[in-house]
Chain A
Amino acid sequence: MRKYLLFAALAFAATPAHANLNVFACEPEWGALSTEIGGDKVSVYTATTGAQDPHQIQARPSLIAKARTADITVCDGAELEIGWLPMILQQANNAKIAPGQPGAFDATSFVRLQEQPSRLDRAEGDIHAAGNPHIQTDPRMMLPVAKALAARFSQLDAANAPAYAGRLADFEKRWNAALAKWTAQAAPLKGVNIAVQHHAWIYMEQWLGLHEVVPLEPKPGVPPSSGYLAQVLQKLQATPAKFVIRAAYEDDRPSTFIAEHASIPAIELPFTVGGTDGAKDLFGLYDDTVNRMLQGLKK
Chain B
Amino acid sequence: MKRFLLLFLLCAASPAFASEASDIAAIKAQLGAMQHDYDSRIRSLEKRLAKAEGELKVARAAAAKPVAVASTAGTGTAQSFDRPAATPTDAPAPDAAPQDVVADNIPPPPAAPPASNNAFNPGIAAVLNGFYVASTRDTQKQTIRGIPAGDEAGLPSRGFSLGESEVSLAANIDPYMSGFLDFSMADDNSLEVEEAYILSKDLPYGLTIKAGRFLSGIGYLNERHAHDWTFSDAALPYRAFLNSQYGDDGLQVRWLAPTDQFLEFGAEIFRGDSYPAAGATHGGQGTATAFMHTGNDINESSSYLAALSYLHSRADNRETDGHVFTGNDDLGIASLVYKWAPGGNPTINNLTLSSELFYGREKGTFDALPFSQDRFGWYAQGVYQFMPRWSFGLRYAGLSTSDPTASLIGSPLDGFGHGPHAETALLEFDTSEFGRFRMQYTHDESDLKPNDEVLFQYTVIYGPHGAHRY
Contacts and interface: CB of A to CB of B under 8 A. Distances in A.
A21 interface: no
Interface residues of A, number: 71
B152 interface: no
Interface stretch (B259-267, B318-326, B358-366, B436-444): B259-267
Interface string B63-92: 110110010000011110110000000000
Contacts of A61: 262, 293-296, 303-305, 470
Contacts of A56: 346-347, 433
A118 to B, nearest CB: 11
A230 interface: no
A180 B70 contact: yes
Interface in B197-247: 199-208
B263 A65 contact: yes
B375 to A, nearest CB: 29
Contacts of A249: 343, 345, 347
B467 A82 contact: yes
A91 interface: yes
B45 interface: no
B260 A187 contact: no
B260 to A, nearest CB: 6
A184 interface: yes
A84 interface: yes
Contacts of B348: 251
A140 B256 contact: no
B188 interface: no
Contacts of B462: 122
A148 B470 contact: no
B67 A68 contact: no
Chain B: interface secondary structure?
loop
B111 A140 contact: no
Contact of B82 (A8, A144, A177, A223): A144
Interface residues of B, number: 70
A60 B258 contact: no
B439 to A, nearest CB: 20
A130 interface: yes
Given A60-B295, A61-B470, A187-B67, A203 B205 contact: no
Contacts of B99: 112
Nearest to B467: A87
B447 to A, nearest CB: 37
Interface in A115-155: 122, 125-126, 129-130, 138, 140-141, 143-145, 147-148
A58 B260 contact: no
Contacts of A49: 300, 343-344
Contacts of A203: 100
Contacts of A122: 432, 434, 462
B267 to A, nearest CB: 10
Interface centre among B202, B205, B293, B434 (most CB of A within 10 A): B205
A59 B469 CA distance: 6
Nearest to B108: A109
Interface centre among B100, B205, B303, B343 (most CB of A within 10 A): B100
Given A59-B468, A140-B78, A68 B258 contact: yes
Contacts of A221: 432
A58 B339 contact: yes
Interface string A147-185: 110000000000000000000000000001101100110
A288 to B, nearest CB: 18
Interface in A216-252: 221-223, 249, 251
Nearest to B470: A59
A17 interface: no
A166 B103 CA distance: 20
Nearest to A48: B344
A92 interface: yes
A228 to B, nearest CB: 14
A261 to B, nearest CB: 20
A176 B388 CA distance: 41
A180 B78 contact: yes
Contacts of B203: 93, 95
B245 to A, nearest CB: 19
Contacts of B371: none
B343 A206 contact: no
Contacts of B42: none
A114 interface: yes
Contacts of B300: 49, 51
Given A60-B339, A62-B260, A251-B347, 12 more contacts: A10-B257, A52-B345, A59-B467, A65-B260, A65-B262, A83-B433, A112-B99, A112-B102, A140-B82, A177-B76, A179-B66, A206-B64
Interface of A: 7-8, 10-11, 14-15, 48-49, 51-53, 56, 58-62, 64-66, 68-69, 82-87, 90-95, 98, 109-114, 122, 125-126, 129-130, 138, 140-141, 143-145, 147-148, 176-177, 179-180, 183-184, 187, 190, 203, 206-207, 209, 221-223, 249, 251
22 contacts: A11-B206, A14-B258, A52-B344, A58-B339, A59-B470, A62-B260, A65-B257, A68-B257, A86-B467, A92-B256, A93-B201, A94-B206, A98-B201, A111-B101, A140-B66, A140-B78, A145-B104, A177-B76, A177-B77, A179-B66, A179-B78, A206-B63
